[in-house]
Structure 1
């Protein structure tokens, strides 16, 4: 077994640098280096030739093929959008190839685009099949490259429509009982019904490429109900709690194969003592969310947490203090997973802002190393800290899409190497053996 592990890491390392060169030249080289990368991909992911199984949960552990499964992965929310047009579609294949060659196992992306440019849902229950075929392509390509997908179903923010678009549609339809707040999304019966119809349409979609219904496709690692939910009109948390209970139950009546999470940032509610000692500020307990309460719902399989010290803390705060806070934040939630929830805890977004105080790329490396080391230590101790997903990777030629946390894989070899080494450490101990 030791020799097999060494071979994997050797393959992973050489393939990683091929992918780095590949990504640095953008779409043009993407088209011309597919054969080379496909060869590396087949070497590093020979285990995918087996029948693909669903990721499951056993207590605080994700399980795959009978073994604990700890995750190293990333966010590329844009996969479906970029798969719509032929000229941008190679970016999807390119980022999935690069992720595979880095040994990454899960990518988180949007499975929604409500009423915006290249919208999947044009109006309640009416879809653009051209965009649905783009999502089909994303799932099929992910399967081909051995990457599993964490797919989010709606946005709390206005980007890509989000809950605001559902409220706008309801207002246009003259629905009664709507407030001026976008929080109507959580409590208005007609909007709840529209969102349930959307959920059903996604989960029962038959992939036009693979022929597999989404609910039956193990390429999908899990569903996420909503990205970063807030319901500030009800700081008690009752409204959001009721919505999560109803929607999680509905998902599970249609799809019992896949894991499900909420999409929380991880803030503790006002009734939790940790809200005073762990939350980044008093404001964090006023958003209508409650990490323990929301995650403890029976149909929620694992807890989700985000890690953004540059956003949550004073931007002028010293890096050392931010790293100390990251450790406290993560270890607190892992403790919750172990003792309170008895479920895996996944850090589904973590990032470093290039707009923070005197930013240097080395600061990003230090933050990433802090996060990844905590996950690896959790894995060694079989604790609930089950994985982390970087926010976020972009393919070549996407510079106009960058936010303050996103970056191209080619931008800093040390960051690339740090993430890839984490894959190798987890793969040697926490991935199913090669057949």
Structure 2
């Protein structure tokens, strides 16, 4: 059922001229991710989960997860997962995934970090990217990196070396001004100027370095919460978005500027995260500021984070206007235009509730590698 849902999504995206980046696993635990492979491979009996798990530690979790790049059996299981997905035939459209134009690229993992094993991460990237190119030479491959993060040495990331792998077609960066303590949503006027400067410095530095190694750069993730300085709950869909809209305008202006420059590596950006009509289910099908639970609808935020934190809804007219302004800024003149971001008042149904993940489904059904 998980894969049938993915089939349906890809078929519907194809009808709308949209493109999917197929992320194959995750540094973080909310989708199962790399840490789960270590348990399946019997490297460990249990995962030392990160917050919000009681007593959870981000540091312990990241160091644990980095062994997914060193454990031979975990790597083999992950590669079996890659083969299973890349070789799939869509049950709705009948198209093999490797022939589907709705798929733009394969992404090895969301935000992988090598920690104490940067060389193992490099080998994992090189071998996995090569495997995908052997299976599917028609689609692009990217790693899914955040870039340097705020401490590349500690996190075991060498942005230029990793993205220099021949089978990697383009580089990515993520910028999280609040998560990285650059922006204080309760003190936006005081903290935003510094956050903006740091974000632009990070963006421009990675653009320069991507150009140096000859790889295009996608600004793959960035977002900002709703206004927290208005005495309103910033997780509520009715709360204003003045600072987020300003941030999107500032960052997308630079994406547009560099994207039009033939000497720049920048080719586009993805925003986090579209929540569609999820505002209709507030306090019925999800709890603002609460965690996601099986049976809840999705708001765009990961299950382990506060729901509604970074959600962009179909009635966020001001935010959507900013996005629309830059939507086709750097597209070639003869390129198909993306679907317009039409704001909507109501959708008849919120969609199916969902639970589980592709990885957990496959683990339950696949033979021992």
Structure having greater relative contact order (Cα 8 Å, sep ≥ 6): 1
- Does the alignment pair 1:380 with 2:260? yes
1:55-94 equivalent positions in 2, closer than 5 A? none
- Distance change (3 Å), C-alpha of 1:403 and 1:227: farther
User: Which ranges of structure 2 fall in alignment gaps of 5 or more residues?
Assistant: 46-60, 185-189, 235-239, 287-298, 300-306, 339-369
- Tell me, yes or no, if structure 1 residue 348 matches structure 2 residue 220: yes
1:257 aligned to which of 138, 149, 163: 138
- Is contact 1:262-1:304 (8 Å) kept? yes
Cα distance in 2 between the residues matched to 1:150 and 1:287:
24
Select which of 199, 203, 206 maps to 2:89: 206
The answer to whether the Cα contact below 8 Å between 2:177 and 2:195 also exists between their aligned partners in 1 is: yes
Which of 119, 124, 137 matches 1:243? 124
- In structure 2, which of residues 240, 247, 264 is the aligned counterpart of residue 367 of structure 1? 247
TM-score by length of 2: 0.71
Shift of 1:433: 8.4
Report the 3-state secondary structure (helix = DSSP H, G, I; strand = E; otherwise coil) of the residue aligned with 1:326.
helix
Deviations 1:19-41 (A, max 9, x none): xxxxxxxxxxxxxxxxxxxxxxx
Match of 2:289 in 1: none
Q: Which has the higher helix share?
A: 1
Question: How far does residue 231 in structure 1 lie from its aligned partner after superposition?
Answer: 2.5
5 Å matches for 1:95-244?
130-171=1-42, 181-234=64-117, 237-244=118-125
Assess if the C-alpha contact under 8 Å between 1:215 and 1:257 holds in 2: yes
CA distance in 2 between counterparts of 1:421 and 1:371 reads 13
Q: Is the 8 A contact 1:315 1:356 kept in 2?
A: no
Contact 1:315 1:357 in 2 (8 A): no
- By how many angstroms is 1:149 displaced? 0.5
Superposition deviation, residue 418 in structure 1: 0.7
1:423 pairs with 2:314: no
Q: Which has the higher strand share?
A: 1
Cα RMSD of the aligned pairs, angstroms, is 2.5
Q: Distance in 2 between matches of 1:375 and 1:151?
A: 23
Aligned residues: 284
Distance in 2 (alpha carbons) for counterparts of 1:196 and 1:173: 19
Task: Judge conservation of contact 2:227–2:244 (CA < 8 Å) in 1.
Answer: no
